[in-house]
């Protein structure tokens, strides 16, 4: 990490936010190469105010961005896990093209060629590229002119502070886990896990257990996402000789769900928190593969563990608090960007890499093909000079995070990039109600795919199991229609459509 990388990141992030909130900016012709603020939020589902995913979500700043641009309410990731999703959107190549399907083992694959990477393409087109926080799955300074990284996963703790000692390790998977941190954040002693849950995924590893949640009574500056924001704010006033691309990556609400006390205090107490919609027999109409994906704790923990320890409502509250915290950081950027001269010349792209389940279908985490795991918030705010843009509108047409790369190539007037997938969203930015008849694909391990259309969801597993959902009538995907005679024609059509899409991708 270099100081210059740190500086560059700040400027772009701040500029983009300014555009989003400046209601009286004077419209003028957008230069050939406008700036780009690229905001990634990790593990964020539709629990933001403008998407109405949870009635107690408090996200005034993200909602404000949606009022300034277009909110895509049917956007989906290429893969519902961090490494695979981010690899796909930054390289313009689907998992079925690269072999990067997951964060682990053989399906982790190999990184795509550097020549494909979005930031490098911007750099080759005369842009100054800046990045901070979690953009790629891990720190990737090689893709940016300037890059700033800081401890985010365990903040306000460090990775070393989160580790169990040899003496403590036997307790980690026990009913009473206890890891002590002396003189930790805030100058006080801590006992982890905050939620008291035993580790299911790695009870024999000294690595900290991330399936944890609770308030941390520390200053904002002890949180990694705040440091990323501070860096951006610090560099707002620096002049730029080139147009810039600034990627700003926020880690929360990724687990562990730690957020400052004030963000918990902004929410109702745990007993008043509303749980996500669910039904007790939701897995009864699934095959063995579907049930395995639902119950596997590979990216978080099990629903049984959460409910046995009466932690469902505290966990939901913690997730909402983390969202509130990140929204505050976005708001700080917006406030500072509003003072910048770049307010009217910056595209703002805000998105999540994938969704996250909090007990729906008895699943916690991501890495499933259901809508809660694949659907993401996506907000695009054009510069004031982009006169044809619809503003304050929602688009229900299915789109993919794969569309961001070709969209930015078009609006920033970059050279065409051979070998990337996706479709430009410019037509939908001008007319959000346009119906394209499109279907978008999400992969969750080789041979497992979801297909999303405007009204339907189709899933097919590697073993041939299928699921079919009428999203208009059944948005929670509670009723699998794949075996109903009345829906066989629809099933056959979507099956053929998935085959056609995969043929194009491969």
What pLDDT was estimated at residue 387?
77
pTM score: 0.93
- The mean pLDDT of 341-350, rounded to a whole number, is 89
Residue by residue, DSSP assigns 414-459 as PPP-TT------HHHHH-TT------EEEESSTT-EEEE-SSEEEE
**Distance between CA atoms of residues 401 and 79, nearest Å:** 10
Cα 352 from Cα 249, distance rounded (Å): 10
Q: What is the mean pLDDT of the chain?
A: 92
Asked if the model's pLDDT at residue 405 lies above 70, the reply is yes
pLDDT digits (tens, 9 = 90+) for 426-439: 999 999 999 999 99
- Is residue 24 within 8 A of residue 384, CB to CB? The reply is no
Task: Let me know: does 325 contact 259? Beta carbons within 8 Å.
Answer: yes
Query: How large is the average pLDDT for residues 413-436?
Result: 96
Q: Burial, 389: exposed, middle or buried (Cβ in 10 Å; 0-12, 13-18, 19+)?
A: buried
Q: Helices in 22-81 by DSSP H: which ranges?
A: 60-68
pLDDT in tens, 12-51: 333 333 333 333 333 344 568 999 999 999 999 999 999 9
pLDDT in tens, 281-303: 999 999 999 999 999 999 999 99
The domains of the chain, with CATH numbers, are 3-24+33-86+114-153+217-427 (3.40.720.10), 157-209 (no CATH)
pLDDT at 1 over 50: no
3-state SS assignment for residue 181:
strand
- Exposure of 388 by Cβ count < 10 A (0-12 exposed, 13-18 middle, 19+ buried)? exposed
If DSSP codes are grouped into helix, strand and coil, which group holds residue 327?
A: helix
At residue 2, does pLDDT exceed 80?
no
pLDDT-derived band at 233 (thresholds 50, 70, 90) equals: confident
Mean pLDDT along residues 138-152: 93
What pLDDT score was predicted for residue 385? 77
Average pLDDT value for residue range 256-280: 98
């Amino acid at each position: 990490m270099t100081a210059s990388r740190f500086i560059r990141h700040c400027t772009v992030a701040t500029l983009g936010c300014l555009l989003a909130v400046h209601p009286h900016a004077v419209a003028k012709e957008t230069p050939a190469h406008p700036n780009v603020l690229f905001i990634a939020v990790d593990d964020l589902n539709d629990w933001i105010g403008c998407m109405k995913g949870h009635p107690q979500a408090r996200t005034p700043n993200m909602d404000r961005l949606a009022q300034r641009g277009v909110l895509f309410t049917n956007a989906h990731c290429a893969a519902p896990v961090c490494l695979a999703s981010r690899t796909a959107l930054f390289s313009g190549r689907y998992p079925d093209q690269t072999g990067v399907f997951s964060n682990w083992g053989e399906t982790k694959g190999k990184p795509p060629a550097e020549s494909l990477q979005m930031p490098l393409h911007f750099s080759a087109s005369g842009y100054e590229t800046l990045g901070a926080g979690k953009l790629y799955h891990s720190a990737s300074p090689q893709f940016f002119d300037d890059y700033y990284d800081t401890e985010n996963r365990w903040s306000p703790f460090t990775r070393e502070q989160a580790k169990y000692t040899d003496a403590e390790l036997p307790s980690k998977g026990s009913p009473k886990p206890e890891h002590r941190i002396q003189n930790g954040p805030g100058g006080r002693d801590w006992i982890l896990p905050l939620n008291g849950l035993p580790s299911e995924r790695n009870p024999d590893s000294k690595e900290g257990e991330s399936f944890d949640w609770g308030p941390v009574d520390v200053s904002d500056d002890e949180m990694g996402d705040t440091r990323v924001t501070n860096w951006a704010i610090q560099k707002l006033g620096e002049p730029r000789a080139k147009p810039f691309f600034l990627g700003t990556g926020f880690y929360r609400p990724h687990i562990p769900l730690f957020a400052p006390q004030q963000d918990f205090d902004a929410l109702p107490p745990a007993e008043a928190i509303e749980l996500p919609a669910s039904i007790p027999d939701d897995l009864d109409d699934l095959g063995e593969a579907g049930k395995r994906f639902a119950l596997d704790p590979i990216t978080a923990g099990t629903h049984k563990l959460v409910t046995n320890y009466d932690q469902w409502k505290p966990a939901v509250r913690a997730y909402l608090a983390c969202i509130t915290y990140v929204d505050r950081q976005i708001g700080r950027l917006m406030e500072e960007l509003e003072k910048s001269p770049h307010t009217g010349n910056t595209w703002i792209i805000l998105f999540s890499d994938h969704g996250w389940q909090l007990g729906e279908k008895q699943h916690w985490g991501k890495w499933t093909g259901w809508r809660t795991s694949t659907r993401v918030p996506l907000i695009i705010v054009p510069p004031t000079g982009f006169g044809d843009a619809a503003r304050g509108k929602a688009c229900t047409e299915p789109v993919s995070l794969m569309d961001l790369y070709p969209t930015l190539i078009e609006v920033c007037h970059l050279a065409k990039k051979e070998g990337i997938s996706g479709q430009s969203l410019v037509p939908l930015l001008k007319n959000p109600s346009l119906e394209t008849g499109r279907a978008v694909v999400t992969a969750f391990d080789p041979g497992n795919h979801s297909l999303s259309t405007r009204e339907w969801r189709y899933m097919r597993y590697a073993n041939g199991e299928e699921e079919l959902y009428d999203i208009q009538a059944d948005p929670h995907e509670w009723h699998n229609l794949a075996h109903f005679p009345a829906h066989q024609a629809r099933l056959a059509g979507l099956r053929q459509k998935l085959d056609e899409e995969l043929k194009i991708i491969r």
